Homo-oligomer: A and B are copies of this chain.
């Protein structure tokens, strides 16, 4: 290795040939493209047994427990749902039963992983939130306030952020976690997605590559977005008309790898759409990814760090977060493939020891917890990789590939992965 490094310093121009392992295995781009073109069909074949081409719904399954799911509703439906609810409440009060909301429980005891759907859903337990009780008077007042604010948004047909909602009555909400939590309650109560409420999260994702879509009426061509890419819109309901000649979607965990691929215009060498939420998946990016998958019927390949958080991020895109399990049907993208960096890649691609990091106690605990999760257990390949990670106690970021040269990711690692169809 020391010898190789010396050579690289002397001839920086040709280090690609000297020190980039496995470059000799690469076939011509033409050959790899042929492999890629078999993707959509093979993926469709694979997914007919899982959940992507003809998506199963809760209703298709005869589950022993009743489950609750929300749907995308139009603004006017949300408005009338609120009005109906308020009328019911009025009747309750007039009939002497008092003022009380029935709120679906979002606790983990009320959550269920449904293997057939490969996502977490909410069971049907509800709790009462009476106004005339010392322990719930504040929360029921907040609930009424949030309902009234959402009703205003329906009438005005505008979008606001959670922070905006909070600031309409700081004295009542006290801190934003309280208005946020009730907002999720209101979604469940009305049976609609949070986006249907016109409350949006700040955008943070970007997209670049072989995709054309409309954002609020403007046509966006993501091959013409330079290196910066297009910011993913915060409100998915104004996104439409997706067109693409891509063969797959490359979902990237972090922006450093995204920048490398965008500058190298990787999507022109291998037609694809590159998307990243720059870390933790935000709601806007999750909705956008799902929309691409559903409308374009493309396989989604994920490039994440080889650590428990990389897999956790992948699982949030794929199966949903526990916090928003009531909306998993709309937020999750079925059948995401784990392309890399996988624990087995560290040895396979000879990632140097000094680029691997020892896992902390917390890392190892998170890894072991993941092994207990149903959505991991379901995929034997993932279990095997995760076991290897926990056993070797080593992790590595995507950037660790830079030790073979800055462009190793785009020039050798990814093409080889695609050529070998090496995903799980």
Contact = CB atoms under 8 A, between A and B. Distances in A.
B231 A235 contact: no
Interface residues of A, number: 68
Nearest to A407: B158
B238 A233 contact: no
A160 B215 contact: no
Contacts of A225: 215, 218, 220, 230-231
A354 interface: yes
B224 A233 contact: no
Contacts of A234: 227-228, 259
Contacts of A12: 148, 151-152, 155-156
Contacts of A255: 161, 202-203
Interface in A145-186: 148, 151-153, 155-156, 158-161, 163-171
B226 A214 contact: yes
A278 B202 contact: yes
Interface of A: 9, 12-13, 15, 148, 151-153, 155-156, 158-161, 163-171, 200, 202-204, 206, 214-220, 223-235, 238-239, 255-256, 259-260, 263-264, 278, 354-355, 357, 397, 399-403, 406-407
B220 A216 contact: no
A271 to B, nearest CB: 17
Contacts of A263: 158-159, 216, 235
Contacts of A401: 167
B214 A259 contact: no
Contact of A148 (B9, B170, B206, B227): B9
7 contacts: A204-B204, A215-B226, A217-B226, A220-B225, A226-B239, A227-B234, A227-B238
The listed residue with most B CB atoms (<10 A of its CB), out of A153, A214, A239, A354, is: A354
Contacts of A206: 203, 231
Given A160-B260, A263-B159, A354-B170, A231 B233 contact: no
A156 B202 CA distance: 36
